[in-house]
Amino acid sequence: MINEHKVLAIIPARGGSKGILKKNIKVLNGKPLIQYTIDIAKEVPDISKIIISTDDNDIIDLSISLGVDVIKRPAELSTDSSLVKDAIQYTVKKLEEEGNVIKDILLLEPTSPLRKVEDIQKVIDKLKHNENDSVATFSKSCISPGRLWKIDNNKLSTFFKGSNPWLPRQQQPDAYELNGLVYGFTRESLIKYKNEDSILVGNIDYVIVDRQVIDIDTMMDFLIVEKIMEKQNEKA
């Protein structure tokens, strides 16, 4: 039987975590961290299938209890040096072997619990334009590239030749950084650019997010997000 999925959401969740033990299932404000991503993905009508890609049995059990499908990835795709693109390629291959037809793919990392439905929908809408191969959410960086420095052979210099770090902030060039909320790309781009490490390939578009978002990497990040959620609950 052929199952066509116009938008597949993949949530990659390794069991190993050096900064925070069992980070992806650590309870945050009453729910396991990964559940925030699962719950928000379920609210997006355009997402036709949600898949958890993991190597961890506890994450598998939790995901199944939350009503989402799981594809267990091999250990070699779950190390600290593994590329997320390899896990995506593996997951998509397994789904297609089962008769699934996939058009567009979203990568939703469980470490970004502050994402909103509108963040995901904006990426999906931009993917619908045939000229886009990939789309991602960005935030304005708090540091201008004009104020960066580097040290080579114990010598200090501006990171970019000719930049002036002494200019007022308003006169410095803007910079933007990936915020980890949403990545989107076409199935075709995975095939066309299969040898590239990046999932942002071909014709890349963007969605700018102008509110505070945090991608949880450290325990400090976790505690900050917890406080933000507590404040949000007080206002609700």
pLDDT of residue 128: 86
* Percent of the chain residues topping a pLDDT of 90: 73
**pLDDT digit string, tens, across residues 44-60:** 999 999 999 999 999 99
Q: In this structure, how many other beta carbons lie within 10 angstroms of the beta carbon of residue 11? A: 23
pTM recorded for the entire structure: 0.91
3-138+178-235 has CATH 3.30.565.40 classification = no
| 37-41, 58-62, 133-137, 160-164: segment of lowest average pLDDT | 160-164
* Phi/psi at 184 (5° precision): -135, 145
Query: For residue 113, which of 199, 11, 205, 16 has the smallest C-alpha distance?
Result: 11
Q: Tell me the per-residue pLDDT of 159-216, one tens digit each, with 9 for 90 and over.
A: 988 899 898 888 888 999 999 999 999 999 999 998 899 999 999 999 999 999 999 9
Secondary structure percentages of the chain, helix, strand, coil, to 5: 35, 25, 40
Whether 217 contacts 113, CB under 8 Å: no
Higher pLDDT, 120 or 143: 120
Cβ atoms 94, 58 nearer than 8 A: no
Q: Where are the domains of the chain?
A: 3-138+178-235
